Every structure is written in structure tokens, then in C-alpha cells.
Structure 1
Amino acid sequence: MSALTLAPAGRRSGGNRPPTGVVIAGTTLVLVVLAALLAPLLAPYAPDAIDLSASLVGTGPQHPLGTDSSGQDLLSRVLYGARTSLIAPALLLAIATVLGVTLGTLAAWRGGWVDTVVSRLTDVMYAFPGLLFTVLIIAVFGTGTTTSVIALGLAYTPTVAKYTRSVALSERHKPYIDAYRVQGMGGARICARYLVPNLGRSITGYLVVLFGEALMSLATLSYLGFGAQPPSSDWGLMVQEGQAAVVQGALLPALVPGIAIALVVVSFNVVGVWAADRLGTRR
């Protein structure tokens, strides 16, 4: 009987191991984060060092990934650009999380007209294209990474709010909520101390899924000229700057940052979907 009992347990423990694709994607993300942190040590040149004599040089010992039209080393720019490309989406999602979780929890807890107002507000923002909304904000307040992060944070708020509301509605009907109410605890205290923390697993899994999408959105804005501005090493801006060199037959200035964006976005999507599934997130 004990052998029969142990066999399923062994199978279950083996099933907890992440698939090979998730391991590869996770390892890729760890390496990208380490590269961003250690950029001053790993980069062979300063990211803004211009050497016109080395314009559009191909791969070689001096420049492992080649150079752009200004002679700037692509490896150095990609390493330093990883910082902006990772930090900016995190800040964007932080803004969306604070606003979205607050609105979603308020709608689920209060119900009635509050829920109706919040739901209609998020529906209206959904009907308005997020990128167009972001461009309008940038047109008013000016271009730059800070404006892009704030604008996209507001654009992502309805998405987080709707998801938070859906999981909070089921959570608020659980017995422990009624127990705290019977004890005379106020709604704000229950939400802050118990309800929202218990939603943390699901919300975290959902945010990991959104991270790759946020990174791509910021890269798109930089490519269009609304986000990061020269001499930034932002990956989206690097693709835009390297586009002109493609006509001259030099593919590396646009290809290197483009591959970096695709690699990180795909890795975050793979890890995010797996994490969302493990954390019980329902998209």
C-alpha cells in the first residue's frame, strides 16, 4: 500500500518541473537581466562613443556585433539599452497596477453604481485604442521615456482593473470576508489587509504575461519617435535609427536590437503563461 501511495506522489513532483521551453526562456531572461546590471563591465565601449571611421563595420574582434552608421558599437548599445527596455515596462506596469487594482477592488467591493461607473469607464477606454490614447497624451505633454511610461501606464489601467474586478468578485464572497465583517472590521481595512494580498498570486501571474506586451508597446513608441530620444540606447529607437542603414546593405544596426526585443518578449510570454497557469491565473 505504501508503494502505491508513493508512486503518484513521485509523478506529481515530476510534474511540478517546468517544461524545457520555460527553462530556456527563464534562463534567457536571467542572462538579459545580468547583462543589463553588468553593462559597464561587459560593454567594450561607451554606448554613445562615436567613431565615424568605423561606420557600419561588420562583426569582428573589435566590434563583435558590428557598428551603426555613427560607428557606435552595437554590443555596447544593446547591453546598456537593456536597462531602459526592462525598467520602463516595470514602471509602466507599476502605475497600471496601483490604479487598476484600486479601481477593480473598489468596483468589486462596493458594487451597485460604483461598479457600474468603473465598468463603463473601463469599457470606454477599451473602445479607444490604447496606442492612440498614448499618442494623444504625448502630443500634449511632449515626447520622452517618462511621458511614454505614464501614458502607457494609464492605457494599461483598464486591463488590470477588469482582471482585478473579476477575481475580487469571487474572493469577496468567501467565508473569511464575512468573518471579518462580523467582527466589525471596516471594508477598507479588510480590502487592504486581506482581500488584495490574497489576490496577489493571480495578479502577479497576469502582470508577468503583460510584461512582454508592455515592452513591445514602449519599443513601438520609441520606433515611431514618441518614446526615448537620441542619444538613448533604447532598443526600439535603435531599430528606428538602424533602418536607414538597411538601404546600404547593413542589416546589423536594425537586426541586432530587433532580435533582442523579439527574444525578450517571447521569453516573457513563455514564462508568463507558465507562471499564470501555476499561480491559478485565469486570463
Structure 2
Amino acid sequence: MTAVPVGALPTPAPPRARRPWAVISAAGFLGLVVLAAALAPLLAPYAPDAVDLSASLAGTGGDHLLGTDASGQDLLSRVLYGARTSLVAPLLLLLLAGVLGVALGTLAAWRGGWVDALVSRITDVMYAFPGLLFVVLIIAVFGAGITTSVIALGLAFAPTIAKYTRSVALGERSKPYIDAYRVQGMSGLRICVAHLVPNLARSVVGYLVVLFGEALMSLATLSYLGFGAQPPSSDWGLMVQEGQAAIVQGALLPALVPGTAIAAVVVAFNLVGVRAADRLGARR
């Protein structure tokens, strides 16, 4: 039997990775939503606050592709303009929560001792206190509005991010390069700002992406309850609340259109967020 040279053997092709069509579709959908929000003045057929009582609760048609609400306002135009608030507000919320949470989590992991215990007790108290009740209390003191809702929810989300940051920072703090910088005489603040926090960025950003859908849903809930965006805003949560009364008259579109938009964007962000978190965590 003649031996076959090793070089002559065919190299088996690596198994083809299954393409995440769901994630790709979700990312494409989110891209279209962001583009539509940015181009709302060009795409919307009507002004979002244009009232036409003669077209009250009109169904889908050539003049109104998605119908109208009780005031005759075009639902497509309102959804396009409302995407701006519904997408930007969660970003600002997570930015505020991220700054506070990362600062507290890094401080607790770096200092340890009584500082770590104090931060842990504060976050435990925040967890024990119902988040929605905490937000409602802040709104009751400072008044309803989208700005107050963003700040209140940012404070409510901060403990969760702080706990996650602390757990990741503890593992990063034990690595040899931290001791090397200490031996060089570098201050703890400089080490944290210049080296520790940047090395946590991938994990923290991935975690924030996962939280985006929850932040959007929380803001929509506050708007639905009357604590968030106020009329004549086109916020999606407020649109659901305003369209609820029309259901009794058999008109489902005023509540169904913005509700579907909220559900679709939240599901898409959850799909993309989990995938992004996995990839960012694998690359650390």
C-alpha cells in the first residue's frame, strides 16, 4: 500500500457558521427606525400636531397610511416624530445611569473595606425599594415631564449598573498590570481613569445595550401613566395612552400603531443587545 504524503491530503473545510438571521434582521430594522427618526421632517406626510377633526379615527387609506387618532392627527407622522423622543430619551437615561453606576462600582471595587460595604448597602436598599415607586416619588416632588422621568429612571438604573461594574472591576483590579502601575507611583485615581475603567468599557457597554430595551419600556410606561412626556408630544407611550379611549369605539389603530412600534423596537434591541454583549464579552 502506497503512503500518501501529508501535504496531498485534502484539508477539511471548517464548518460554516450559522448566520444569525434574526440578529441581522433586528439590526437592519433598528437602522431603519433610526434613519426614519432622523428624516422624520422629510418622510412624515403631515405635521405631528396637525389636527383635522373631519378625519377623526379614520382608517388606513391613501391620505393616512396608518390611520388617524381621535383628533384627526396622522398616526404615521406622529410615530415618525415620536421615534426621536422614544430613542433619544433612553440613551440619555443610560448615559446618566452609566456615569453614576460605573463611578460607584469602580470606587467600591478599588477602595474595598467600609467604602465597598457602604456602596453595597446603598444599592441593596435601592433594590429593596420598588423602582417604579421611587420614580413616582421623585416625579411627585419635581413634577411630571420627560426630563424628570429620565433623571428619576437614571437614578433607579444606577444601582444595577454599579453592582455589575463592581463585579467586573474586582476581577480586573487583581491583574498584574494594576500592581505594576502602583509600583511606578501612579495614583489610584489615575490608574482607574486611564487604565481600569477603559478596560471595563467593553463589558459595561455591552451590558448597557442589553438595558436599552428595558429603559425604553420604562419610559413608555411612565408616559402611559401620565408621568412622562406630556401633550402635545408624540412620545409612543403617550400615544398609547391617548389612543386607549378609542378602543371602546372600535378604533384599534391609535393604540395599536405606537404599541406595535414599542414592542418591535424593544424586541429588536434585546436581540441585538444580547448578541453585542456576547461578542464584547468574548473580546475582553
TM-score with structure 1 setting the length: 0.95
For the pair shown, the structure with the greater C-alpha radius of gyration is: 2
Residues 112 and 47 (structure 1), Cα distance of their counterparts in 2 relative to 1, 3 Å cut = same
Residues 117 and 265 (structure 1), Cα distance of their counterparts in 2 relative to 1, 3 Å cut = same
Deviation at 1:279, TM superposition (A): 1.1
**What is aligned with 2:120?**
119
Which residue identity does 1:91 align to in structure 2? L
**What is aligned with 1:238?**
239
Q: Classify the secondary structure of the residue corresponding to 2:57.
A: coil
Gaps of 5+ in 1: none
Residues 188 and 229 (structure 1), Cα distance of their counterparts in 2 relative to 1, 3 Å cut = same
**What is aligned with 2:169?**
168
Gaps of 5+ in 2: 1-5
Distance 1:91 1:251 in 2: 32
Which residue identity does 2:36 align to in structure 1? A
Deviation at 1:139, TM superposition (A): 0.3
**What is aligned with 1:279?**
280
Deviation at 1:6, TM superposition (A): 7.0
**What is aligned with 2:200?**
199
**What is aligned with 2:191?**
190
1:81-92 alignment runs, 5 A limit:
81-92=82-93
**What is aligned with 1:213?**
214
**What is aligned with 2:3?**
none
Distance 1:147 1:24 in 2: 34
Identity across the alignment (%): 79
Q: How many residues align?
A: 277
Which residue identity does 2:179 align to in structure 1? D
Residues 63 and 199 (structure 1), Cα distance of their counterparts in 2 relative to 1, 3 Å cut = same
Distance 2:201 2:188 in 1: 18
Distance 2:7 2:67 in 1: 62
Residues 31 and 117 (structure 1), Cα distance of their counterparts in 2 relative to 1, 3 Å cut = same
Q: Classify the secondary structure of the residue corresponding to 1:72.
A: coil
Tell me which stretches of 4 or more aligned residues in structure 1 moved more than 2 Å: 1-8
CA offsets per residue over residues 106-161 of structure 1, 9 Å max, x none? 00000000000000000000001111100000000000000000000000000000
**What is aligned with 2:146?**
145
**What is aligned with 1:256?**
257
Which residue identity does 2:65 align to in structure 1? P
